[in-house]
Amino acid sequence: MTGKKTLKTGEKILFGIFGAFILFAVIAYAVLEVVRLKMDKPLFEVKTHYDLSAQGLQGSELFRLERCTSCHRAMRNGTNMGLSLDGLGSARDRDWIYRFLTQPEQTYGVKTVDHGAAPKEASYVAQMPAEKLQAIATFLSELKSDQGSSSSPLPPEGRSPFIDNMVKMWAPKDWDERYQDVRTKGEPSATQK
Ligand code: HEC
């Protein structure tokens, strides 16, 4: 047995970098928590809501049992890595959702990633019994979004400099002649000068 071993230079650098990362993460977490506790509004406002019917409740159980949560998220269930379905019912109606579940590609009108024919990973969904899919469609149609949420068709109430800037930067010049501005409901558009 030899005595104490000292670290090689490479090891010191490696552990040093590793330690710096951990230190940074701890400091960032502490700062975030302090900011969050000092705010009078919640950091992440919940802008979706639901009021489930009996069939919707049954659908929400199926949503978990049928492994939808391995790719989706709804009502605090499921993965953050996939597509969140919270608020879906404000953008799509029940018939659309049911049609999508049974005929994904025809309903989207473009190629899909996971829903569709085998060997796509979610191909099993379209094969599920109609009764279960009906219940799931009801459930998803009952997930609503509040105005201003990312899943809402309507932007937040009042003026938003952020949205004005995005419109200026990305929308084609004559967009407000061709489309109606949902923020002003018929009056001249907010960005028009
Ligand atoms: C393997 C991953 C996966 C699984 C499992 C899965 N999905 Fe999906 N889902 C997706 C992806 C990806 C999309 C986007 C469409 C596409 O490319 O397939 C999607 C889209 C959707 C949409 C359309 C949303 C929209 O507005 O565009 C609905 C509704 C949906 N899924 C419901 C379900 C339900 C219900 C289940 C369970 C029965 C389920 N999904 C299981 C991956 C998955």
pLDDT at 50: 94
Question: How far, in Å, from the CA of 98 to the mean position of ligand 1?
Answer: 12
State how far the Cα of 118 lies from the Cα of 98, in Å rounded to an integer. 19
Provide the greatest CA pair distance for the chain: 86
Residues 185 and 86: beta-carbon distance below 8 Å? no
Nearest CA to ligand 1 atom 2: 71
pLDDT at 154: 86
Closest by CA to 156, choosing from 140, 165, 145, is 145
| pLDDT per residue as tens digits for the range 43-57 | 888 899 999 999 999
State how far the Cα of 132 lies from the Cα of 77, in Å rounded to an integer. 19
**Residues above pLDDT 90, as percent of the chain:** 72
| pLDDT per residue as tens digits for the range 64-114 | 999 999 999 999 899 988 899 999 999 999 999 999 999 999 999 999 999
Residues 133 and 52: beta-carbon distance below 8 Å? no
Q: For the CA atoms of the chain, what is the radius of gyration?
A: 24
State how far the Cα of 76 lies from the Cα of 80, in Å rounded to an integer. 9
- Encoded tokens for 63: 């949503």
- Among the atoms of ligand 1, which is closest to the Cα of residue 121? 1
- Encoded tokens for 188: 């001249």
Does 119 sit behind a cis peptide bond, omega within 30 degrees of 0 on the bond before it? yes
Count of CB atoms within 10 A of residue 140's CB? 27
- Among the atoms of ligand 1, which is closest to the Cα of residue 136? 35
- Encoded tokens for 116: 């569709």
pLDDT at 183: 82
In terms of C-beta density within 10 A (0-12 exposed, 13-18 middle, 19 or more buried), how is residue 7 classed? Answer: exposed
Name residue, tokens 């028009």: 192
- Encoded tokens for 106: 């025809």
Nearest CA to ligand 1 atom 33: 68
